[in-house]
Amino acid sequence: MQATVRKVVRERAADRCEYCRLSQAHAPAVQFHVEHIRARQHGGTDDLTNLCLACVQCNWFKGPNLSGHDPESESLVPLFHPRKQVWSEHFKVVQGRVIGLTAVGRATVELLRMNDDDRVELRNCFGDQAFND
């Protein structure tokens, strides 16, 4: 992937994970990844509409998945799509925990393990407002 494409993705995301909203400045030791929303193995491309910025944990847990299990409805639903959906319609952060507001949000939170203890603790260091804007 071209360096110019990576730069555009980072700038568009304001250097924040487009899934959990963690800022690269909050985790400077590990470079965030330019992630394929739809993995190449599922027909995804390097087009900007299929790329987003993801922290290492979100990228790792998402892998090539396109859907996840909503713990409330017990349905299989698509994961959050940063290019097609608005973050605040599907999530909010309360006391460091990412809360899924919709089936898509809940499934994404669960699959990406957004509320593992270390991630909640890190968010609490910066306050909920840093993630909810």
Q: What is the pLDDT of residues 69-123, one digit of tens each?
A: 999 999 999 999 999 999 999 999 999 999 999 999 999 999 999 999 988 988 8
Q: Is residue 9 very low, low, confident or very high in pLDDT (cuts 50, 70, 90)?
A: very high
Range 101-107 contact pairs with CB under 8 angstroms and sequence separation of 24 or more: 103/70, 103/72, 103/73, 103/75, 103/77, 104/70, 104/77, 104/78, 104/79, 104/80, 105/80, 106/70, 106/71, 106/72, 107/67, 107/68, 107/69, 107/70, 107/71, 107/76, 107/77, 107/78, 107/79
Q: How much is the pTM?
A: 0.91
Domain ranges of the chain: 3-132
